Amino acid sequence: MANSIVEYGYLATDAMLKGIIKTIVNESPFLARLPFREISGNSLLYNLESTEAGVSNYATGDTWVESTTVWAQRSAALTIIGGDADVDSFAKQTRSNEQDVKRAIIELKAKAVADHFEKQAIRGYTGTAYSAKDIKGLMHLLAECQSATTTAWNGSLYTNPAAGSNTQVVTAADDSTALTIDMMDVLRDLVKPKPDCFIMSRMARNKLASLARATGSNLEYVADPRKLGHLVTMYGEQEVIISDWVPNNIQDGVSSAVTIRDTNFAATRASAKDNSVIFALRWSDSDGVAGVTNGWIKTEDIGQLETKDADRTRIKFYCNVANFGKVSLAGLINVVPGTALA
């Protein structure tokens, strides 16, 4: 069974590493839940099930027809995320009675690592400023459900979800329209056998909560088994995970399609740029969404610096994100998560 970063934290023997992992788990619900597959090299080629094997009924004497699963190859090359944290020697010595200065600085850097990972795990390899060094985020992995070279979401209207080029993408409208409960139900059913969670922006969560209240129900809040005293939000059987990196300023679609590399994440939210995306996914390191890593998170003591009176610690993570099962990830696009902008 795959380890999550939470379980990895239990195994860590280094006190500093435990503190880093605790900080990351607290900062990123997405990263806390993501299972990881450990690999020995610097990249992973894997097979994505694109067409299920056929099975038929036969009578005695019939000729049997061979039909096997059709696989499509995908790749996840490890990228490096991390950063250096310098601790001033004077501050460490003169303020050591008040607080552990080094630990505080390292934990702030760990918070930044968690934030950067989650940003990449949602947006990576997309947008007008995409880079080949990026982690493959959910936005790109959703496009890859169609083909390894696709950089657009080619969906179909939620009223006829099987009609699009990418059967894992469903659109609220050809261009843009407000979220409804019916759309959420269609999105849920695109993940087989069922999704573990929905990932959305705060604005989309607020709209979903409003829609649920209008039907006489509500989102439910249950105890988080990973963190004592914390609650998680549930929509039906699925957990609702909020990520501030899910954009609310995606451009309007054209004929139920969106070219994700044309998205400018820095653009001001305005008319024709007021859409979001809601993901449904199932966690699994064998046939679902998972992280890929070689060596987990590491800390490296660089030591005393020559150019200033400080010592440096490096935090680094060799990682990526992959989708091992086509029907384990789906997305609702061209959806306005809040008040439409005229």
Q: Which residues contact 339 (CB under 8 A, 6 or more apart)?
A: none
With beta carbons less than 8 A apart as the criterion, state whether 18 and 9 touch: yes
**pLDDT at position 65 over 80:** yes
**Length of the chain as a residue count:** 342
Give the model's pLDDT for residue 11.
Answer: 64
The Cβ of residue 131 has, within 10 Å, a number of other Cβ atoms equal to 10
Q: Are 322 and 288 in contact (CB under 8 A)?
A: no
Core vs surface per residue 288-326: b (16+ CB within 10 A) or e: bbbbbbbebbebeeeeeeeeeebbebebbbbbbbbbbbb
**Burial grade of 154 (CB within 10 A; 0-12, 13-18, 19 or more):** buried
Average pLDDT of the residues in 318-335? 94
| Residue percentage of the chain with pLDDT more than 70 | 93
Spatial CB neighbours of 325, under 8 Å, sequence gap ≥ 6: 48, 49, 282, 284, 287, 288
Give the start-to-end residue ranges of the domains of the chain. 3-50+84-336
Let me know: does 141 contact 249? Beta carbons within 8 Å: no
**Which of 56-60, 86-90, 157-161, 327-331 is the most confident on average?**
327-331
Number of helices (H), then strands (E), in the chain: 8, 18
pLDDT for 28:
83
Q: Is the pLDDT confidence value at 328 over 90?
A: yes
**Residue 13: predicted pLDDT:** 67
Quick check: 228 pLDDT over 70? no
* 200 close to 211: Cβ distance less than 8 angstroms: no
Predicted local confidence at residue 332, as pLDDT:
97
Taking each helix axis as running N to C, give the angle between helix 202-214 and helix 181-189, from 0 to 180 degrees, rounded to the nearest 10: 110
Farthest CA pair distance, the chain: 89
Q: How far is CA 10 from CA 7, 18, 74, 110, 283, in A?
A: 5, 8, 32, 17, 20
Local confidence band at 299 (pLDDT 50, 70, 90 cut-offs): confident
Per-residue pLDDT tens for 145-202? 999 999 999 999 999 887 778 999 999 999 999 999 999 999 999 999 999 999 999 9
Could you report the per-residue pLDDT of 130-144, keeping only the tens digit for each? 998 999 999 999 999
82-128 pLDDT, tens digit per residue, is: 999 888 888 777 776 555 778 788 888 888 888 899 999 999 999 99
Question: Are 212 and 181 a contacting pair, CB within 8 Å?
Answer: yes
Q: Which of 28-32, 50-54, 267-271, 310-314 has the lowest mean pLDDT?
A: 50-54
**Which of the residue ranges 6-10, 65-69, 312-316 would you say has the lowest mean pLDDT?**
6-10
**pLDDT surpassing 80 at residue 300:** yes
Q: Provide the token pair at 108.
A: 């702030």
> CA-CA-CA-CA torsion for 235, 283, 2, 147, nearest 10 degrees?
-170
| pLDDT value for 8 | 67
The neighbour count for residue 55, using CB atoms within 10 Å, is: 8
User: pLDDT tens across 16-54, in order?
Assistant: 777 777 777 777 888 889 999 999 888 888 878 766 677
For the cut 50, the answer to whether the pLDDT of residue 206 exceeds it is yes
- Above 60 in pLDDT, residue 342? no
pTM over 0.85: yes
With pLDDT > 90 as the criterion, what percentage of the chain qualifies? 52
Which residues lie closer than 8 Å to 10 by C-beta, 6 or more apart? none
What is the structure's pLDDT at 1? 45
Could you give the strand order of the β-sheet that contains 35-38, starting from the edge strand earlier in sequence?
3-4, 35-38, 289-304, 310-323, 79-88
Residue 82 CA: distances (Å) to CA of 29, 42, 200, 226, 331: 19, 16, 25, 25, 29
Q: Which CATH architecture has domain 3-50+84-336?
A: Alpha-Beta Complex (3.90)
